[in-house]
Amino acid sequence: MLLFAYGTLKQGGKYHCYLEEAELVEEQATAKGILYDTGMGYPAMILSDSGQIEGEVYEIPDVLWPALDFLEDYSGDPETDMYDKVTVEVEAGNKSMETIVYIAKSEKLLKEPIETGKWDITQSVI
Protein backbone atom coordinates (compact mmCIF):
# COMPACT_ATOMS: atom_id res chain seq x y z
CA MET A 1 0.00 0.00 0.00
CA LEU A 2 1.05 3.56 -0.66
CA LEU A 3 1.45 6.27 1.99
CA PHE A 4 1.26 10.03 1.42
CA ALA A 5 3.82 11.58 3.81
CA TYR A 6 3.41 15.33 4.40
CA GLY A 7 5.28 16.02 7.64
CA THR A 8 7.95 14.47 9.83
CA LEU A 9 8.04 11.26 7.76
CA LYS A 10 9.32 13.12 4.69
CA GLN A 11 12.99 12.96 3.68
CA GLY A 12 14.99 14.92 6.23
CA GLY A 13 12.16 14.79 8.79
CA LYS A 14 12.78 13.61 12.34
CA TYR A 15 10.74 10.41 11.82
CA HIS A 16 11.88 9.57 8.29
CA CYS A 17 13.83 6.66 9.84
CA TYR A 18 10.48 4.84 10.11
CA LEU A 19 10.51 4.61 6.30
CA GLU A 20 13.98 3.09 5.87
CA GLU A 21 12.46 -0.14 4.52
CA ALA A 22 9.90 1.71 2.39
CA GLU A 23 10.37 2.64 -1.25
CA LEU A 24 10.05 6.28 -2.34
CA VAL A 25 7.61 6.20 -5.27
CA GLU A 26 7.06 9.93 -5.83
CA GLU A 27 9.21 12.72 -4.43
CA GLN A 28 6.63 15.39 -5.27
CA ALA A 29 2.93 14.76 -4.87
CA THR A 30 -0.08 16.81 -3.81
CA ALA A 31 -3.27 16.01 -1.94
CA LYS A 32 -6.38 18.12 -1.44
CA GLY A 33 -6.50 19.44 2.09
CA ILE A 34 -5.41 22.08 4.57
CA LEU A 35 -2.18 21.73 6.52
CA TYR A 36 -1.84 22.97 10.10
CA ASP A 37 1.04 23.50 12.47
CA THR A 38 0.11 21.71 15.70
CA GLY A 39 2.62 23.72 17.74
CA MET A 40 4.14 20.39 18.83
CA GLY A 41 6.84 19.97 16.17
CA TYR A 42 4.72 18.20 13.58
CA PRO A 43 1.88 19.07 11.22
CA ALA A 44 -1.66 17.79 10.86
CA MET A 45 -3.91 17.85 7.82
CA ILE A 46 -7.61 17.80 7.16
CA LEU A 47 -9.27 16.96 3.86
CA SER A 48 -10.60 19.94 1.94
CA ASP A 49 -11.16 20.86 -1.69
CA SER A 50 -10.03 24.41 -0.93
CA GLY A 51 -6.36 23.66 -0.34
CA GLN A 52 -3.42 21.65 -1.57
CA ILE A 53 -0.75 19.87 0.48
CA GLU A 54 2.69 18.88 -0.76
CA GLY A 55 4.21 15.56 0.20
CA GLU A 56 5.94 12.36 -0.85
CA VAL A 57 4.54 8.93 -1.73
CA TYR A 58 6.03 5.71 -0.36
CA GLU A 59 5.34 2.03 -0.95
CA ILE A 60 5.00 0.67 2.60
CA PRO A 61 5.71 -3.00 3.35
CA ASP A 62 3.00 -4.59 5.51
CA VAL A 63 5.48 -5.07 8.37
CA LEU A 64 5.88 -1.27 8.79
CA TRP A 65 2.20 -0.31 9.19
CA PRO A 66 1.94 -1.15 12.94
CA ALA A 67 4.89 1.15 13.75
CA LEU A 68 3.44 3.94 11.58
CA ASP A 69 0.02 3.55 13.23
CA PHE A 70 1.68 3.82 16.65
CA LEU A 71 3.69 6.90 15.61
CA GLU A 72 0.56 8.58 14.23
CA ASP A 73 -1.51 7.71 17.32
CA TYR A 74 -3.89 5.56 15.30
CA SER A 75 -5.31 2.36 16.78
CA GLY A 76 -8.66 2.25 15.00
CA ASP A 77 -10.45 3.38 18.18
CA PRO A 78 -12.63 6.38 17.26
CA GLU A 79 -12.82 7.45 20.91
CA THR A 80 -9.11 7.86 21.62
CA ASP A 81 -7.25 8.27 18.31
CA MET A 82 -5.77 11.69 17.50
CA TYR A 83 -5.52 10.81 13.80
CA ASP A 84 -7.62 8.83 11.37
CA LYS A 85 -6.23 6.67 8.57
CA VAL A 86 -8.03 7.23 5.27
CA THR A 87 -7.56 6.61 1.57
CA VAL A 88 -7.17 9.65 -0.69
CA GLU A 89 -6.26 10.38 -4.28
CA VAL A 90 -3.01 12.27 -4.73
CA GLU A 91 -1.55 13.79 -7.87
CA ALA A 92 2.05 13.22 -8.90
CA GLY A 93 3.24 14.53 -12.24
CA ASN A 94 0.47 13.75 -14.68
CA LYS A 95 -0.94 10.76 -12.80
CA SER A 96 -3.30 10.15 -9.94
CA MET A 97 -2.78 7.46 -7.30
CA GLU A 98 -4.64 6.13 -4.30
CA THR A 99 -2.73 6.44 -1.02
CA ILE A 100 -3.23 6.09 2.71
CA VAL A 101 -2.91 9.32 4.70
CA TYR A 102 -3.19 10.13 8.39
CA ILE A 103 -5.57 13.06 8.96
CA ALA A 104 -6.33 14.98 12.14
CA LYS A 105 -9.35 13.83 14.14
CA SER A 106 -8.83 16.19 17.06
CA GLU A 107 -9.47 19.89 16.47
CA LYS A 108 -6.90 20.74 19.14
CA LEU A 109 -4.22 19.70 16.61
CA LEU A 110 -5.31 22.45 14.21
CA LYS A 111 -3.47 25.45 15.69
CA GLU A 112 -2.15 27.52 12.78
CA PRO A 113 -2.93 27.00 9.06
CA ILE A 114 0.14 26.64 6.85
CA GLU A 115 -0.88 28.65 3.80
CA THR A 116 1.78 27.15 1.50
CA GLY A 117 0.55 23.59 2.15
CA LYS A 118 4.16 22.52 2.65
CA TRP A 119 5.67 21.44 5.97
CA ASP A 120 9.18 22.77 6.37
CA ILE A 121 11.08 19.80 7.78
CA THR A 122 13.39 22.14 9.69
CA GLN A 123 10.36 23.02 11.86
CA SER A 124 10.21 19.45 13.14
CA VAL A 125 13.70 19.40 14.65
CA ILE A 126 13.13 19.88 18.35
Residues catalogued as catalytic: 72
User: CA 29, CA 55: separation in Å to the nearest integer?
Assistant: 5
Closest CA to 53 of 69, 36, 38, 31: 31
Question: Which residues, listed in sequence order, are joined to residue 68 by a DSSP beta bridge?
Answer: none
User: CA 54, CA 11: separation in Å to the nearest integer?
Assistant: 13
